[in-house]
Amino acid sequence: MQIAQIALVEVVAALCRKTREAAITTIERDNLIADFRNDTVTTYGIRPITLQVYTHAGDLCRTYRLRAYDAVQLAAALALRDDALASGVTAPLFVCADADLLGYAASEGLGVENPNTHP
């Protein structure tokens, strides 16, 4: 399983936002951040963001209404998909909770999954 390098910031920012919104406590936030950072060492491969990915992300902004980090996430997933297909392995599944971003990913031919649909 791989995640884009920028997820290292995005996940922490999302958890901090949840704390500011009082959806989770500071202790829960800190535990979730620690768990995520541990998972980045033990479970996830970190996909570096290259100049090519950044350029593709900018081009995706011409087609879709994307925030900058969302465009980079999508471009990184598309690069991973292209590498997987060239290697003859299963294409990645794009997982996110943003319905618009999932729609854009699906339009680009990625398989998608929304974690909010799971109990």
Domain ranges (residues) in the chain: 1-46, 49-119
Interval 75-96 mean pLDDT: 93
* CB atoms inside a 10 Å sphere around CB 10: 16
Average pLDDT, the chain: 94
Best CA proximity match to 112, nearest among 72, 84, 77: 77
Reported as a single tens digit per residue, the pLDDT across 10-62 is: 999 999 999 999 999 999 999 999 999 999 999 999 999 999 999 999 999 99
Best CA proximity match to 3, nearest among 54, 56, 44, 57: 44
CA distances from 65 to 2, 47, 59, 70 (A): 25, 24, 11, 10
d(CA 78, CA 105): 8
What pLDDT is attached to residue 118? 81
What pLDDT is attached to residue 116? 87
What pLDDT is attached to residue 35? 97
Confidence label for 8 from pLDDT (cuts 50, 70 and 90): very high
pTM comes to 0.84
